[in-house]
Structure 1
Amino acid sequence: MAIAQNTIALVFDYDQTLSPSYMQDDVVFPEFGINPESFWKKCNALVTEQEWDGELAYMQCLLDYLEMDQVNNEQLQKLGANLTFFPGVETVFDELRESCLTSAHLAQDISIEYYIVSSGLKALLEGSSIRDKFEAIYGCEFGEDTQGRIRYSKRTISHTTKTQFLFRINKGLLDLSEDVNDHLSPELRPVPFENMIYVGDGPTDVPCFTVMRKAGGNAIAVYNPDDPSRRSFRKCYQLCAKANRVKHIAPADYRAGSHLRLLMEEMVSEVADRILRQRTDEIQGGTVAAPQF
Structure 2
Amino acid sequence: MSSAQTIIGLVYDYDQTLSPSYMTDEVVFPHFGINGAQFWKRTKELVDEQGYDNELAYLKALLDYLSPDRPSNAELRTLGAKLQFYPGLPGMFDEMEKVLRPEHRALGIRLEHYIISAGLKELLEGSALRPHVKAVFGSEFAEDREGRISFPRRVISHTTKTQFLFRINKGMLLPHEDVNDHMPSELRPIPFKHMIYIGDGPTDVPCFTLMRRYGGNAVAVYNPEDQTRGSFRKCWQLSGQADRVRHIAPSDYRPGSHLRLLVEEMVEEIADGILRRQRDEVENATISAPGY
Structure 1 and Structure 2 fold alike (TM over 0.5): yes
1:290, distance to aligned residue in structure 2 (A): 4.9
SS in 2 for 1:179: coil
**Which residue identity is paired with 1:104?**
E
The ranges of structure 1 where at least 4 consecutive aligned residues each deviate by more than 6 angstroms after the TM superposition are none
Structure-2 separation of matches of 1:11 and 1:49: 35
Instruction: Report matched runs for 1:40-189 at 5 Å.
Output: 40-98=40-98, 100-189=99-188
Q: Which runs of 5+ in 2 are unaligned?
A: none
**Which residue identity is paired with 2:18?**
L
Q: Which residue of 2 aligns with 1:22?
A: 22
Structure-2 separation of matches of 1:92 and 1:290: 48
SS in 1 for 2:5: coil
Structure-1 separation of matches of 2:33 and 2:79: 14
SS in 2 for 1:157: coil
SS in 2 for 1:243: coil
Q: Which runs of 5+ in 1 are unaligned?
A: none
- Pairwise CA RMSD: 1.0
Structure-2 separation of matches of 1:286 and 1:173: 31
Structure-2 separation of matches of 1:127 and 1:292: 64
1:289, distance to aligned residue in structure 2 (A): 4.3
1:70, distance to aligned residue in structure 2 (A): 2.7
Q: Which residue of 2 aligns with 1:199?
A: 198
Structure-2 separation of matches of 1:198 and 1:3: 22
**Which residue identity is paired with 2:191?**
P
1:242, distance to aligned residue in structure 2 (A): 1.7
**Which residue identity is paired with 1:18?**
L
**Which residue identity is paired with 1:90?**
P
1:148, distance to aligned residue in structure 2 (A): 0.4
**Which residue identity is paired with 1:199?**
I
SS in 1 for 2:238: helix
SS in 1 for 2:240: helix
Q: Which residue of 2 aligns with 1:241?
A: 240
Structure-2 separation of matches of 1:183 and 1:79: 39
1:118, distance to aligned residue in structure 2 (A): 0.3
Query: 2:63 touches 2:70 (CA, 8 Å); kept in 1?
Result: no
SS in 1 for 2:90: helix
Structure-1 separation of matches of 2:42 and 2:198: 30
Deviation per residue, 1:85-128 (Å, 9 max, x gap): 00002111111111x10000000000100000000000000000
Deviation per residue, 1:216-247 (Å, 9 max, x gap): 00000000000111100000000111200001
Query: 2:17 touches 2:222 (CA, 8 Å); kept in 1?
Result: yes
1:67, distance to aligned residue in structure 2 (A): 1.4
Query: 2:20 touches 2:85 (CA, 8 Å); kept in 1?
Result: yes
Structure-2 separation of matches of 1:54 and 1:9: 28
Structure-2 separation of matches of 1:77 and 1:289: 60
**Which residue identity is paired with 1:206?**
V
Structure-2 separation of matches of 1:53 and 1:81: 29
Structure-2 separation of matches of 1:156 and 1:256: 35
Deviation per residue, 1:193-214 (Å, 9 max, x gap): 0000000000000000000001
Q: Which residue of 1 aligns with 2:11?
A: 11
Q: Which residue of 1 aligns with 2:277?
A: 278
Query: 2:12 touches 2:199 (CA, 8 Å); kept in 1?
Result: yes
The worse-fitting range, judged by mean Cα deviation, of 118-127 and 166-175 is 166-175
1:68, distance to aligned residue in structure 2 (A): 2.8
Structure-2 separation of matches of 1:68 and 1:3: 51
The worse-fitting range, judged by mean Cα deviation, of 132-141 and 281-290 is 281-290
1:285, distance to aligned residue in structure 2 (A): 2.2
Corresponding pairs, count: 292
SS in 2 for 1:89: coil
1:281, distance to aligned residue in structure 2 (A): 1.3
